[in-house]
Each structure stands twice: as structure tokens, then as C-alpha cells.
Structure 1
Amino acid sequence: MTKKDIVRVISEEVGLTQQQTKRIVQMTFDAIIDSLIRERRIELRNFGVFEVKARAARKARNPRTGDEVIVPEKHVVTFKPGKTMEARVRELSDNELASQAAAKSQSDSNAPTKPETSGEPDSHSGRWDTD
């Protein structure tokens, strides 16, 4: 589901235009972000808790070269779902989950496929076409 889908659903439910609803939804998202920046935490009862946490600097490896690199400390947003959300998600039966997976698989199979590769170097770049 995208923001556009959320706007459409809410617009139909409350009887506002999609433009009005889009503005309200965006203002809500902006308020959540602003609260996270100011207070580092926002708790939405029956929904969940967003929190800003510091992730410590760490050592890692460049996968291409194998060289060790230092990944600097950074701040990340975490989300812990509320009890109501967890309970409603848990109610999904195996059949509902299976039908959703089947629908996704069907939509994925309708997507265009990549052309087969020749395994030969590309004449323009000289790179191997390996996908």
C-alpha cells in the first residue's frame, strides 16, 4: 500500500477530496517526523512506538575489495508495534496469508522478464553480461 492508496481510502471514508486528504496525511507524517527529531520518541496508543536510537560506529568489510572500513555512528528510527496491531496481525489465518502470497506471486509472474543474456562481453562497455 502506498501513500496514494492511504489517501484514496481515507478520502472515501470521510468524504473529503483526495487533495484535502493528501494534505492532512502529509501533515500527519510531518508531525511524526518533527516529534521524532525534537523528542526522539512518539507513542501512538494502540498503534506503536517510533523511537530514534543511536547505532554505534562499527567495523565492516567492503564486499568488492575485502578492505576493512569504519561505518560511522548514526541515528536510526525503530518501530515497536502496539498490542492492538500485533493482535490484529496475528489474527490473519494461514489461508489469508497463503492467498496474499498467491496473489503476489501471480502479479510477479505478470511482470515483464529480463531478456536472456548471452554470456558475452557487452560490445559497448566491454563488461560481461552476467545479470
Structure 2
Amino acid sequence: MTKADLVNAMAEKAGLSKADAEKALKAFTDSVTDALKAGEKVALVGFGTFSVGERAARTGQNPQTGAKIQIAAAKSPKFKAGKALKDSVN
């Protein structure tokens, strides 16, 4: 499902115009992004939890030259599905 498909589905299910559904989707994604940037979790009961995971700095190896390189620490977004979502998919 693409973003356009999601906007169409949201508009149909909520009885909104496509423009309003797109604004709502953008507001949702912006709000989740802002919360994750601030280091917060976003928990939607029954759906899932968005959080930020941390990866430590480590030493890697360039596959072409075999030279050792330092890979910097990084943060990455994570999503853990809630029980209701898992149950509805299965």
C-alpha cells in the first residue's frame, strides 16, 4: 500500500475528503517524528509502540579493501506491534 492508497482508504473509512485525510496523515507522521526526536515513546494501545533504539559505535570492515573502519553510534526508529494488531493479522 502506497501513501496515496492509504490516504484514499482513510478518506473513505472516515468520511473525509482526500485533502483532509492527507492532512491528518501528515499531522500524525509529523507528531510521531517529533516525539521520537525528543526521545519519547508513542504508544497506541492495541496497535503498537513507536520508540527509538540505540546502536553502539563499533568497528567494521570495508569489504573491498579489508580495511578496518569505525562506524559511529546511531539512533534508529523501532515499531513493536501490539497484541490486537498481531491477532488481527493472524
Tell me what 1:81 maps to.
81
State the identity %.
32
Gaps of 5+ in 1: 91-131
How big is the shift at 1:68?
1.0
**Counterparts of 2:63 and 2:39 in 1: how far apart (Å)?**
37
Aligned pairs, how many? 90
Alignment correspondent of 2:28: 28
Does residue 18 of the first structure (1) align with residue 11 of the second (2)? no
* 1:2 and 2:2 aligned: yes
Query: How far 1:30 sits from its partner (Å)?
Result: 0.5
Give the RMSD, CA atoms, in angstroms: 1.2
Q: Which runs of 5+ in 2 are unaligned?
A: none
In the alignment, structure 1 residue 60 sits paired with structure 2 residue 44 = no
- Indicate the structure with greater strand content: 2
Q: Which is bigger in relative contact order (C-alpha 8 A, separation at least 6)?
A: 2
Query: Matches of residues 84-123 of structure 1 in structure 2 within 5 Å?
Result: 84-90=84-90
Q: TM-score, normalised by structure 2?
A: 0.91
Query: Separation in 2 of the partners of 1:54 and 1:15?
Result: 40
Residue in structure 2 matched with residue 124 of structure 1 by the alignment: none
Secondary structure of the structure 1 residue equivalent to 2:6: helix
Distance, in Å, in 2 between the alignment partners of 1:3 and 1:15 is 18
Instruction: Give TM-score, length-normalised by structure 1.
Output: 0.64
Where does structure 1 differ by over 4 angstroms across 4 or more consecutive aligned residues?
none
Higher radius of gyration, 1 or 2: 1
Q: Please state how far the C-alpha of 1:65 moved relative to its aligned partner.
A: 1.4
Residue 16 of structure 2 aligns to a residue in which SS? coil
